[in-house]
Amino acid sequence: MVNNHILMSGLRAAIRRETESACGRLRLPGHPVSLRKIAPPRAWGYTTALPQELAGLLLAEEQVRLEDELGKKAAKKKLRARTSELSVQVAKNLAEAVSLDALPGVALAEAEGGYLNFYLDTAVASRDIISAVLERGRDFGRGEPQNERVMVEFSQPNTHKDFHVGHLRNVVLGNALANLFEFGGFEVLRTNYYGDHGIHVAKALWGHLHPELLAEAEAFLNGTVPQSVYARVERLLTSDSDNSRLVEIRAIAERETGQILQQLDDSSSDVYGLWQRTRQEDLNAFRGIYSELGVRFDLEFYESEVEKLTSAIVDELLEAGVAVVEAEGEYAGTVAVDFAAHGAAELGSMVLRRSDGTTLYQTKELALAKVKFDDYKVDRSLYVVGSEQSLYFRQVFEILKLWGFAAAEKCQHVSYELVQLASGKMSSREGTVVPYRGFVEEAKERALLLARERGISSTPETVASQVALCAIKYAFLRVDTNKTILFDWEQALSFDGNAGPYLQYAYARSNKLLAGFDPDVQRLMQLSYTPQVAEVELCRTLADFCDCVSQALDMLAPNLIANYLYDLTRAFTDFYQSCPVLKAENDVRFYRQSLVAGFNTALVIGAGLLGMELPEEM
């Protein structure tokens, strides 16, 4: 059976070989043949700019001579036209010298400008790619088993704080990466790490314990009242009002949050029950969100548990000479790592134990990393966390290295930029957030309205929910992770054009065309049908699927998949518009249904990688 992938990569090598030997016959200087796909709208095939590279090479001596004579700029200007002429001539000669006998599947070698182009026989190539997809089905593009265990830690929400759209970018991204690794053949451990312990918890609990004091203090504060209890307490604590009653309440809050923090570790204390209850409420809410988003975790860690491991870790690092007790200066009394002493001065220093003996977030991070390496034997460990933490992770990984973990080299901070509001940074501290719940509900409502308008027969609620979530996920995933997302309600909730529902809609349409269709690769391969432009374009895009997936994995860039799927779907829509399927007959109908089936499969796989659901009809 013909396997497209092998055919394509084998073909590339053959083209290179043939081009090289043609160069030899023409006595052109030896030069590696760089081969790329021909830029999309032109044609299906491969191209090399070798003639231009050779022209540059052939004129190099002349260039040196002219530069001496006229100076660099003038020489360049003078040579430009000649280089281009020469490259056209070289391309022409090469196109004539190349033999197609050794290149099955190539219909034509042609010089165009300074390029040498190899055009595929579209009848052959399109059959190959379609049959490759149909044969492998949902496994099309799947990688061979890698025998490597990858841990992907993502989400890491704090209990007692808002879960907002900024966290959503993280979940959606982390999930897509985990999917990509799995599809790439890796064993994946999806890991979550809940921030259920610490000063932010104490602050929220204080608010729960003293709603009347909080409300009283708020009467003296300007501005809107944040939604979460945590943010309300934070606002009180950071207020700079000098109203005497407010100052009094603020002092109480400060004193008592410290006490509450201490009591969290004591299961007999008054606040312990409250902590347990509120913590559980939030954890339940998080699980509701994950389930709604179709995200699952293999491992879940809690700060409150990791916390218990920290003091031993600090002692161990002291003993190993990685950390030291600071004797003087502003860090006197702390246990810290001074990176300058380890040849990494640019990392500054990191405190691991406060002078009052309590530990910090980073200490827990180190303890957790040890657990990950020791208990789960991971070969690679990814931390999906916002870019604001990049210095922090460099420090943490450096400490792991100094500590002697060889696997520290395999730790990687997968950073992404924040989701910002037009008004500035989203901060649960300041209460300036777009909460997850309200956002998603709004999206669902809008989608439901549309679904009802369109008269979706069976289950408008289900479809609306799928549409809303797909739109949201796509909006986050299609943007490069290095780019800040400026959150805009209207844009995030758009169901038109380059958006998630575009893919869903095309999928639903393609399903209609496949009713009763039975794939038959044998028959397809025996077909002699010359595909039309739109069909070629769809096949060509389909043929890029595997490259796209492996590149996305390589670069940890799910946005490549999102953008590819949009291109693929556009090609399908174009095909849908110009090539009737069910109205065609016999072989043409069969060929087109095969192509639609190929598209349908690739779209399902790609959308699955992004964690997006596609409704059967809409």
Scanning residues 457 to 516, which ones bind RNA (CB under 7 A)? 463-464, 467, 478-480, 482-486, 488, 491, 494-499, 501-502, 505, 508-509, 511-513
> Least CB distance from residue 149 to RNA, whole Å?
25
In sequence order, the β-bridge partners of residue 66 are none
Q: Could you tell me if 322 and 399 are in contact, meaning their C-beta atoms sit under 8 angstroms apart? A: yes
Report the 10 Å Cβ neighbour count for 608.
16
Pick the closer one to RNA by CB: 132 or 192.
192
| Amino acid letter for position 412 | Q
Phi, psi angle pair for 99, to nearest 5°:
-105, 130
In sequence order, the β-bridge partners of residue 385 are 415
Q: Could you tell me if 254 and 199 are in contact, meaning their C-beta atoms sit under 8 angstroms apart? A: no
Q: Could you tell me if 52 and 113 are in contact, meaning their C-beta atoms sit under 8 angstroms apart? A: no
Instruction: State in Å, rounded, how far the first CA of the chain is from the last one.
Output: 36
Residue span binding RNA (CB under 7 A) among the ranges 121-129, 243-251, 307-315, 577-585: 577-585
Cβ-based neighbours of 285, under 8 Å, separated by 6 or more = 163
**Radius of gyration (C-alpha) of the chain in whole angstroms:** 31
> Least CB distance from residue 443 to RNA, whole Å?
10
> Least CB distance from residue 578 to RNA, whole Å?
7
Dist. CA 139–CA 612, nearest whole Å: 17
Residue span binding RNA (CB under 7 A) among the ranges 204-212, 291-299, 343-351, 370-378: 343-351
Q: Does 360 bind RNA (CB under 7 A)?
A: yes
Going by C-alpha positions, the residue among 530, 602, 533, 524 that lies closest to residue 561 is 602
> Least CB distance from residue 616 to RNA, whole Å?
8
Scanning residues 393 to 422, which ones bind RNA (CB under 7 A)? 417-418, 420
Residue span binding RNA (CB under 7 A) among the ranges 167-175, 266-274, 287-295, 348-356: 348-356
Pick the closer one to RNA by CB: 67 or 216.
67
Pick the closer one to RNA by CB: 135 or 430.
430
> Least CB distance from residue 237 to RNA, whole Å?
11
> Least CB distance from residue 219 to RNA, whole Å?
27
Burial of 616 (0-12, 13-18, 19+ CB in 10 A): exposed
Scanning residues 362 to 391, which ones bind RNA (CB under 7 A)? 362, 387-391
Scanning residues 231 to 260, which ones bind RNA (CB under 7 A)? none
Pick the closer one to RNA by CB: 39 or 219.
39
Q: Does 356 bind RNA (CB under 7 A)?
A: yes
Pick the closer one to RNA by CB: 131 or 504.
504
Tell which one of 11, 306, 477, 579 touches RNA (CB under 7 A): 579
Scanning residues 57 to 86, which ones bind RNA (CB under 7 A)? 57, 59-60, 63, 72-73, 76, 80, 83-84
Scanning residues 520 to 549, which ones bind RNA (CB under 7 A)? none
Dist. CA 84–CA 224, nearest whole Å: 66
Pick the closer one to RNA by CB: 64 or 215.
64
Dist. CA 172–CA 551, nearest whole Å: 19
Pick the closer one to RNA by CB: 181 or 576.
576
Phi, psi angle pair for 239, to nearest 5°:
-70, 145
Tell which one of 1, 39, 219, 327 touches RNA (CB under 7 A): 39
Scanning residues 553 to 572, which ones bind RNA (CB under 7 A)? 555, 557, 559-560, 563, 566, 570
Three state DSSP letters for 82-98: HHHHHHHHHHHHHHHHC
Scanning residues 127 to 156, which ones bind RNA (CB under 7 A)? none
Q: Could you tell me if 335 and 354 are in contact, meaning their C-beta atoms sit under 8 angstroms apart? A: no
Scanning residues 159 to 178, which ones bind RNA (CB under 7 A)? none
Dist. CA 352–CA 406, nearest whole Å: 21
Give the x/- contact pattern for RNA in 415-454, rule: CB under 7 A.
--xx-x---xx---------------------x--xx--x
Place of tokens 């003038």: 74
Tell which one of 143, 185, 294, 333 touches RNA (CB under 7 A): 333
In sequence order, the β-bridge partners of residue 45 are 119
In sequence order, the β-bridge partners of residue 118 are 46, 109
Report the 10 Å Cβ neighbour count for 350.
21
Scanning residues 256 to 295, which ones bind RNA (CB under 7 A)? none
Q: Could you tell me if 352 and 432 are in contact, meaning their C-beta atoms sit under 8 angstroms apart? A: no
| Amino acid letter for position 188 | V
Q: Does 617 bind RNA (CB under 7 A)?
A: yes
Pick the closer one to RNA by CB: 72 or 277.
72
> Least CB distance from residue 163 to RNA, whole Å?
13
Pick the closer one to RNA by CB: 117 or 126.
117
Dist. CA 259–CA 281, nearest whole Å: 23
Residue span binding RNA (CB under 7 A) among the ranges 6-14, 45-53, 135-143, 275-283: 45-53
